[in-house]
């Protein structure tokens, strides 16, 4: 651990002997609702699950104080790591894993909400019964906001991320996201996240490509809702950040990425003259709230592919 990190643990931390470590990074989010949801299972878990929260440079003293007070009152064993500056998604998750004590690591984003009251117990039972190398529990939109400004993201997520367990299992390495992902410690120690991925996107998919060559990736039905839906403008900004990461993934796994629709479309768009003008028009179409949601979602998918055209 870096000397710059401030570490706070609650009273339950020292005596716990966890089998599962929940690893929860956040940046400028408020994880208090998720912590409260997990705490409802504390009595039945009896120290079998610990939670490690990483504030990756939010620099919000009031939030840190609220979090510390909440954690001190929790029966779940919890450690809070507060960083003064952002280190990034890949490095942050590697840091969380290094702080964990359990044999299995559950990566859970702070904007997720369990979809049923036995969420942690089901993960702990899976570890006790079969101890999988890698298991993904799935996404849903069950509790996600239904505001009109999030309709495009909701449509995109419903199509590409909220995939039933049986469908995910057909392409196990493709449907792996660190928002609800269980990884056995020895697997993570042999294949950590690539710190060369910076900003937003693709570090978890690239990691899964490497891991799936050596270990079985299983899919289970233990979903959580992705609460953090974005506006079109915010999502487009994330896509812009993700283009270099997509290019890095193409360089490392060309044979796998070649089968991705986003790659094939990006290669086609790369041949078009005036690509920068096309990108502007596609983003404008995605942001036009008078168009049907399906049309806007399609335009945003094409905008992402047009961004990726520079990276393939």
- The predicted structure's pLDDT at residue 308: 93
State whether 152 and 280 are in the same domain: no
The whole-angstrom separation of Cα 187 and Cα 93 is 14
Q: Which of 36-40, 107-111, 200-204, 254-258 has the lowest mean pLDDT?
A: 200-204
The yes-or-no verdict on residue 312 having pLDDT over 90 is no
The yes-or-no verdict on residue 2 having pLDDT over 60 is no
- 136/312: higher pLDDT: 136
Q: Are 247 and 312 in contact (CB under 8 A)?
A: yes
The yes-or-no verdict on residue 234 having pLDDT over 90 is yes
State whether 41 and 95 are in the same domain: yes
pLDDT-derived band at 3, boundaries 50, 70, 90: very low
What crossing angle do the helices spanning 275-287 and 232-252 adopt, rounded to 10°?
A: 140
- The predicted structure's pLDDT at residue 275: 92
Tokens read off for 15: 């005596």
The yes-or-no verdict on residue 105 having pLDDT over 70 is yes
Angle of CA points 132, 12, 54, to nearest 5°: 65
Mean pLDDT of the 55-65 span: 89
Residue 239 within a domain:
no
State whether 249 and 224 are in the same domain: no
Tell me how many helices (H) and strands (E) the chain has. 14, 11
The whole-angstrom separation of Cα 296 and Cα 303 is 10
Residue with tokens 């986003």: 262
Annotate 59-123 with three-state secondary structure: CCHHHHHHHHHHHHCCCCCEEEEEECCCCCHHHHHHHHHHHCCCCEEEEECCCEEECCCCHHHHH
State whether 167 and 225 are in the same domain: yes
The yes-or-no verdict on residue 108 having pLDDT over 60 is yes
The whole-angstrom separation of Cα 224 and Cα 220 is 12
State whether 145 and 171 are in the same domain: yes
- The predicted structure's pLDDT at residue 166: 94
CATH number of the domain to which 76 belongs: 3.90.550.10
Tokens read off for 277: 């003008």
The yes-or-no verdict on residue 198 having pLDDT over 80 is no
Tokens read off for 119: 């969420």
Q: Are 207 and 89 in contact (CB under 8 A)?
A: no
Tokens read off for 117: 């009251």
Q: In terms of Cα–Cα distance, which of 24, 41, 182, 181 is closest to 119?
A: 41
Q: Are 38 and 7 in contact (CB under 8 A)?
A: no
Q: In terms of Cα–Cα distance, which of 176, 206, 175, 180 is closest to 192?
A: 206
Share of the chain above pLDDT 90, in %: 70
Number of structural domains found in the chain: 2
Mean pLDDT of the 140-167 span: 94
The whole-angstrom separation of Cα 59 and Cα 39 is 25
pLDDT-derived band at 1, boundaries 50, 70, 90: very low
What count of other Cβ atoms lies within 10 Å of the Cβ of residue 270?
A: 15
The whole-angstrom separation of Cα 241 and Cα 70 is 33
Residue 235 within a domain:
no
State whether 170 and 77 are in the same domain: yes
Burial 177-195 (b: 16+ CB within 10 A, else e): bbbbbbbbeebbeebbbbe
pLDDT-derived band at 257, boundaries 50, 70, 90: confident
Q: Are 79 and 51 in contact (CB under 8 A)?
A: yes
Residue 42 within a domain:
yes
State whether 194 and 305 are in the same domain: no
Which of 90-94, 110-114, 204-208, 253-257 is the most confident on average?
110-114
Domain holding 293, by residue range, is 244-311
Mean pLDDT of the 87-108 span: 89
- The predicted structure's pLDDT at residue 203: 85
The yes-or-no verdict on residue 35 having pLDDT over 80 is yes
- 132/56: higher pLDDT: 132
- The predicted structure's pLDDT at residue 311: 86
The yes-or-no verdict on residue 221 having pLDDT over 50 is yes
Residue 252 within a domain:
yes
Residue with tokens 């050596």: 214
Dihedrals φ, ψ of 44, to 5°?
-80, -20
State whether 59 and 166 are in the same domain: yes
- 23/56: higher pLDDT: 23
């Amino acid at each position: 651990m870096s000397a710059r990190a401030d570490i706070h643990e609650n009273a339950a931390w020292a005596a716990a002997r966890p089998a599962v470590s929940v690893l929860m990074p956040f940046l400028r989010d408020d994880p208090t609702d998720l912590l409260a949801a997990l705490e409802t299972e504390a009595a039945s878990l009896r120290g079998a699950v610990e939670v490690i929260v990483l504030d990756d440079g939010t620099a919000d003293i009031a939030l840190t104080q609220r979090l510390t007070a909440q954690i001190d009152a929790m029966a779940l064993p919890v450690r809070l790591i507060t960083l003064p500056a952002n280190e990034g998604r890949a490095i942050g998750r590697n840091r969380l894993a290094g702080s964990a004590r359990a044999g299995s690591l559950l990566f859970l984003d702070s904007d997720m909400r369990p979809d049923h009251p036995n969420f942690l117990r089901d993960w702990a039972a899976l570890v006790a019964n079969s101890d999988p190398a890698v298991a993904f529990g799935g996404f849903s939109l069950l509790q996600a906001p239904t505001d009109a400004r999030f309709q495009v993201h909701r449509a995109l997520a419903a199509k590409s991320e909220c995939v039933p367990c049986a469908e995910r299992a057909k392409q196990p390495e493709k449907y792996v996201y660190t928002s609800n992902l269980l990884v056995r410690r020895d697997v993570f120690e042999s294949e950590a996240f690539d710190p060369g991925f910076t900003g937003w996107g693709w570090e978890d998919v690239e990691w899964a490509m490497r891991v799936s060559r050596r270990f079985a990736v299983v899919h289970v039905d233990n979903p959580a809702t992705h609460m953090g839906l974005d506006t079109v403008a915010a999502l487009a900004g994330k896509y812009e950040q993700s283009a270099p990461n997509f290019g890095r993934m193409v360089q490392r796994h060309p044979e796998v990425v070649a089968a991705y629709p986003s790659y094939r479309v990006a290669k086609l768009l790369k041949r078009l003259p005036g690509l920068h003008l096309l990108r502007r028009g596609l983003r404008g179409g995605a942001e036009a709230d008078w168009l049907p949601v399906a049309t806007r979602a399609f335009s945003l998918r094409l905008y992402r592919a047009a961004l990726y055209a520079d990276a393939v």
